[in-house]
Structure 1
Amino acid sequence: MAETTSLPLNDSVQRVVAALAAAGHPHAPQMLDSSARTAQEAADALGITVGQIAKSIIFRRKSDDAAVLVITSGDRRVDEKKVSALVGPTGRADADFVKRATGFTIGGVSPVGHTTAPVTLIDRELLRFDEIWAAAGHPNAVFRLKPQDLERLTGAPVADVVQAPKASA
């Protein structure tokens, strides 16, 4: 497992700390010594499978410019058509939109602590695991939780929003 540090927390991580504390979540964010910008980097740093990383993908809803947060397992790819069927037509969000709409930079988008609450969907594939880890507002910050905690922390529904896994040859 990766080493954690006790660096001063930036504003984004402090928002996540406050949101988790307000919800009574038992696990505070940890700062890793190495980057967890991608699901694979986070899994490697934590010594877990990539599927146990709750990656946060932001889309931009076309009708009202709202941020749509899809929280999915790190070993899955979001199916934008499934997302659009649930929340209305969406498009890709660029880095500027992500930062402006959520208060987080790509690689550190947390499920909680957004500056403006996004429309959120939780992928059911995360329920395969007993324990998962999510970004906590910075590319080196993560926090531990159970998949069911996402529903409680975000109020979001669980849905099928990913592409079918490719069969191994």
Structure 2
Amino acid sequence: MTNIAFLVAPEGVEQIELTEPWKAVTQAGGTPRLISTAPGQIQTFNHLDKGDRFSVDGTVSDVSVADFDGLVLPGGVANPDFLRTEPAAVRFVRDFFDAGKPVAAICHAPWTLIEADVVRGRTLTSWPSLQTDLRNAGATWEDKEVLVCTAGPNKLVTSRKPDDLKAFCQAAVDAFG
């Protein structure tokens, strides 16, 4: 594992779903890089309250999947809802699957995966309110702490919520190698 992209919207990412996987990647010897749709800083949230701000390392328009060994998609309701409306962000996510690189998504992040059309035939978990969306997109949804699906071209790690972060982080680091 070398470079891991963390794709987030300019506002609305759940802070702990960004910072805990970031810490896990760093502790495993990887280099996390914060990628967004705009330069500058992103605003995180602790549920509905504003959290910390973090500097963006690059935008989806300025980086390539070839620059990274894996992708983390943190949750928060607003984060993936915004990302799935941005064609460059959706294309960036889809390119990880086309390249066969591992992807880890937690909480509401699978909304972006649905928009990228990469869940069909895969088994995932997520925040429970996404299960119908995932099933309608052709995925099998299971209520589990963490799932690692290898049914497609890459490893796909998914978890439901912040309480699952310990298992999610370990599975993501393992998938990233």
TM-score (norm 1): 0.29
Higher strand share: 2
* TM-score, structure 2 normalization: 0.29
Higher fraction of helix: 2
Query: Comparing both chains, which one has the higher relative contact order based on Cα–Cα distances under 8 Å and sequence gaps of 6 or more?
Result: 1
